[in-house]
Amino acid sequence: MKALTWQGIDKVGIEQVADPKIINGSDAIIKVTSTAICGSDLHLYGGRVPTLLKGDILGHEFMGEVVETGRNVKNLKVGDKVVVPFNIACGHCYFCEKGMFSACDNSNPNPSIPLMGTGQAVSALFGYTHMCGGYAGGQAEFVRVPYADIGPLKVPSGIDDEQVLFLSDIFPTGYMAAENCEIEPGDTVAVWGAGPVGQFAARSAFMLGAGRVFVIDRFPERLELARQCGAEPINYELEDVYETLQFETGGTGPDSCIDAVGMEGHGHTIDALMDDVKAAFRIQPDRAHALRQAIRCVRKAGIVSVPGVYIGLIDKLNFGMAFNKGIKFKMGQTHTHKYMKPLLDRIMNGEIDPSVVISHRLKLDDAPAGYKMFQEKSHECTKIVMHI
Amino acid sequence: MEKNVATFERIASVLVGGLALQQTLMSNRPTSVKSVTGAAGLAFLWRGVTGSCPIYRSLNINTHKANGISMTPNLLERSALINLPPEEVASFLQTKKTPWGRFSLAIDEYHYKIDIDGRTWMLELSGHSDGNRTLIKLTWNEQDSLVPERVLEIRKLKSLMETGEIASIEGQPHGDRGPIGSFFETFGDKLLHSLQSRTALPDSKKDNETMISHESEMRREAHA
Ligand SMILES: NC(=O)c1ccc[n+]([C@@H]2O[C@H](COP(=O)([O-])OP(=O)(O)OC[C@H]3O[C@@H](n4cnc5c(N)ncnc54)[C@H](O)[C@@H]3O)[C@@H](O)[C@H]2O)c1
Ligand SMILES: [Zn+2]
Ligand SMILES: [Zn+2]
């Protein structure tokens, strides 16, 4: 089959590889019909996450049709149309049973590395390094999905892929980020990053009762997309984010702040420049400017919710500020499985059209150019979908 | 050369060194930069593989000794919290075949044993105070003063009990690995395993291999 593989720093390519096979009884093989490139893929593309090997198949946002099932699979049959969550979870361990799917105990075949990185090994992810399980990803014609009774969500066969594809990651991620803000009716929420995750976070914040939502970025087309859902855009290249947020909230600050930027944060202040230097020499991968700013802006005893991915030891973190204001942090990989069905219902009810974030539709063969474009945010690129 | 680096640090060194080397070989920066990062990568790799660090020696630091066993992942791999009550764990151990063979009752219903290539392993069960989970701890023949390698991977036993299978990516597709990728693919696991073992007992090394082959055998059987 054809698959997109990582070939080195800032380099991906399309290769001919073997078809995936059933390995365990709970596996299913999915023929991928649509897949997307995620902001998280950019961390891999840039070679910033350790234990990715040349030749690894990327992709964790995908959906398709079931073409084969292992002998223990009961909920799926050949021909079903499914969306697959990006985390791999067993469904039976303590964490899965409590709905904390991204903390699954059993899905990572080689937990020794993450064990050292994180103290305890977290769940495996599709197409996301050997530290996260080494599973082949879904930017390919076919993909093997373990624990097929647990993860894949069956969707109506008539529905357009673009309506449901993002249930695999970014819609649940934006939603969980907003849910983590424990929004009370009329609350003010500020979202850093107007990328796909930020867009869904802003929309979800409104769904959960926020009165005002600010969205911060520097790309006009992304800010415009945020404005369309009722959010108030702040272009950080034109305005001072802290001053604007304080002014708009009477010096109180937003009730909660969402960092939907993560480790590729950009900025012009001294902390951001120091991060840039360290990242360039690959001493430290995380550029946490947005996180620091969120901590500074949030109201006293507010919440900072972090869907943006960080992986290393962030320095210059204003933790004293966080302590003295009594901030609550909520973060982590999304417990995607938990949100897929309720969010599918919201899509079916017409509460949201997830396809609004899509700016480009490509063929799998054009994915390498897509990565470059998405990394550079050129051609007003917000989200790329490949139909296979 | 005397070892003076803790296992945890050794693994970290191998990872950091490997990564630096990988990035050096793949990058298109000037040779001056590449020679620095390349040399640093090699040095870290060497430090990790040998467990010996000249800088530590000159400063009289020895994390190898200081950390002792408590820092090695082995200890972590020798206990697990199973998401099943003790009765179910006990009945699993008495009735199910595992990649390592069958366990049998020892002492009382809270102790089970299994013989693997001449070594007796004991599992000790205790109920978690929440009433739903079971803590299992692995012990071995008292007369073996040396700590064996991570031969009976208790984590896999846990997966088997909780989900009926052991997570695997054996034989899945990938693209061309290139020389560096193939190196890490072929030796990465071995390196990790050898670093994780505290002692180099030849017979337990054999146990390790037996265990791995038992596991793939079981997987094959399950599919026949
Ligand atoms: N937690 C999860 O499970 C999960 C899931 C998916 C994605 N993510 C993470 O969410 C983050 C965003 O993903 P995405 O797909 O939207 O990526 P993206 O790259 O499209 O979006 C990031 C946006 O942040 C903006 N930005 C950069 N620096 C900023 C700053 N200082 N202030 C404000 N905005 C800034 C960029 O201009 C860009 O528009 C990534 O870190 C990704 O890894 C996490
Ligand atoms: Zn994603
Ligand atoms: Zn689980």
Which atom, in ligand 1's list, is nearest to the CA of A219? Answer: 37
A80 and A108, same structural domain? Answer: yes
Residues at CB less than 6 angstroms from ligand 1:
A 38-40, 42-43, 169-170, 173, 192-198, 216-219, 222, 236, 260-262, 265-267, 289-290, 307-309, 333-334
CB atoms within 10 A of CB A14: 18
pLDDT for residue B72: 40
Q: How far is CA B175 from the centre of its chain?
A: 27
pTM here is 0.87
pLDDT per residue as tens digits for the range A27-60: 999 999 999 999 999 999 999 888 899 999 999 9
Give A131-161 pLDDT, tens digit per residue. Answer: 899 999 999 999 999 999 999 999 998 999 9
Q: Tell me, what's the pLDDT at B216?
A: 65
Mean predicted confidence (pLDDT) in A119-135: 92
Q: What is the ipTM of this complex?
A: 0.90
Q: What is the pLDDT of residue B190?
A: 67
Amino acid at A37: I
Kindly report the average pLDDT of chain B as a whole number.
77
Tell me the β-bridge partners of A36. A61, A385
Both tokens assigned to A74: 């009961």
Let me know: does B145 contact A129? Beta carbons within 8 Å. Answer: no
* Residue B88: closest CA among A111, A26, A92: A92
Domain count, chain A: 2
Interval A176-215: pLDDT, tens: 999 999 999 999 999 999 999 999 999 999 999 999 999 9
The pLDDT tens digits of the residues spanning B135-160 come to 998 876 555 544 454 456 788 889 99
Give how far A285 is from chain B: nearest CA, Å: 13
What's the rounded Cα separation, in Å, for the pair A209 and A173? 17
Domain range for A226 is 171-331
Q: Is the model more confident about A320 or about B207?
A: A320
Same domain assignment for residues A140 and A193: no
* Closest ligand to the CA of A100: 3
Q: Say yes or no: A187 and A325 in one domain.
A: yes
Nearest neighbour of B175 by CB, restricted to A57, A109, A133:
A57
pLDDT at B198: 40
Q: Which CATH number belongs to the domain containing residue A263 in this structure?
A: 3.40.50.720
Nearest CA in chain B to A49: B19
Q: What are the extents of the domains in chain B?
A: 7-58, 81-148, 168-224
Among the ranges given (A180-184, A209-213, B50-54, B216-220), the one the predictor scored with the smallest mean pLDDT: B216-220
Tabulate helix, strand, coil % of chain B (nearest 5): 55, 15, 30
Spatial separation of the C-alpha atoms in residues A343 and A280, rounded to whole Å: 39
pLDDT in tens, A215-253: 999 999 999 999 999 999 999 999 999 999 999 999 999
Q: Are A135 and A185 in a shared domain?
A: no
Whether B26 and chain A come into contact, CB under 8 Å, resolves to yes
Q: Name the residue with higher pLDDT: B163 or B119.
A: B163
Among B23, B153, B174, the residue to mutate for chain A (most A Cβ within 10 A): B174
Q: Which two tokens stand for residue A55?
A: 């030749």
Pick the last residue of a domain from A302, A331, A360. Answer: A331
Atom index in ligand 1 nearest the CA of residue A197 equals 16
B residues 89..148 contacting A (CB < 8 A): 133
Question: Is B164 close to A47, i.e. CB distance below 8 A?
Answer: no
DSSP states of B1-61: ----S-HHHHHHHHHHHHHHHHHHHH--S-HHHHHHHHHHHHHHHHHHHH---HHHHHHT-
Say what the pLDDT of residue B195 is: 55
Name the more confident of A138 and B3: A138
A354 and A228 assigned to the same domain: no
- Report the pLDDT value the prediction gives residue B191, as an integer from 0 to 100: 66
Which atom of ligand 1 is found nearest the CA of A216?
33
Ligand nearest to the CA of A95: 3
**Would you state the pLDDT for residue A372?**
97
Q: Which two tokens stand for residue A118?
A: 């994180």
What the block records as the tokens of B165 is 């299978």
Residue of chain A with shortest Cα separation from B150: A112
Of the partner residues A1, A3, A24, the one whose CB lies closest to the CB of residue B168: A24
Residue A286: its H or E element: none
Residue A81 phi, psi dihedral angles, 5° rounding: -95, 125
User: Residue A222: left if φ>0, alpha if ψ -120 to 50, beta else—which one?
Assistant: alpha
Give pLDDT, residue B77: 60
CA distance B46 to chain A (A): 18
Q: Give the model's pLDDT for residue B69.
A: 39
B223 touches chain A (CB under 8 A): yes
For chain A, percent of residues with pLDDT exceeding 90: 89
Provide the CA B94 distance to its chain's centre, in angstroms: 26
A137 and A178 belong to one structural domain: no
Q: Is B104 helix (H, G, I), strand (E, B) or coil?
A: strand
Same domain, A327 and A341: no
| Residue A376 banded pLDDT, cuts 50, 70, 90 | very high
Q: Are residues A249 and A189 in the same domain?
A: yes
Alpha carbons A67 and A340: distance in angstroms, whole number: 22
Q: Ligand 1, residue A263: give the atom nearest the CA.
A: 41
Look at residue A338 in the predicted model and tell me its pLDDT. 98
Q: Do A3 and B11 touch (CB under 8 A)?
A: no
Do A105 and B158 count as a contact with CB atoms less than 8 A apart?
A: yes
- Which residues of chain A lie closer than 8 angstroms to B15, CB-CB? 50-51, 113
Indicate whether A209 and A67 sit together in one domain: no
> Using one digit for the tens of pLDDT, what is the confidence trace for B115-131?
876 677 888 999 999 99
pLDDT in tens, B69-97: 333 444 556 789 999 999 999 999 999 88
pLDDT(B205) > 50: no
Q: Does B19 sit within 8 Å of A109, measured CB to CB?
A: no
The side-by-side arrangement of strands in the sheet containing B108-116 is B79-82, B134-140, B119-127, B108-116, B104-106
Whole-angstrom distance, CA of residue A111 vs CA of residue A129? 12
Asked if B12 reaches chain A (Cβ–Cβ under 8 Å), the answer is: yes
- Please tell me whether residues A295 and A341 are part of one structural domain: no
Residues A346 and A252 in one domain: no
Query: Do A280 and A181 belong to one domain?
Result: yes
Residue in chain A lying closest to B33 (CA): A281
CB spacing of A115 vs B166 below 8 angstroms: no
Please give the Cα distance from A244 to A254 (Å, whole number): 11
Who has greater pLDDT, A281 or B177?
B177
Cα separation, A12 vs A103, whole angstroms: 29
CATH number, domain of A32, equals: 3.90.180.10
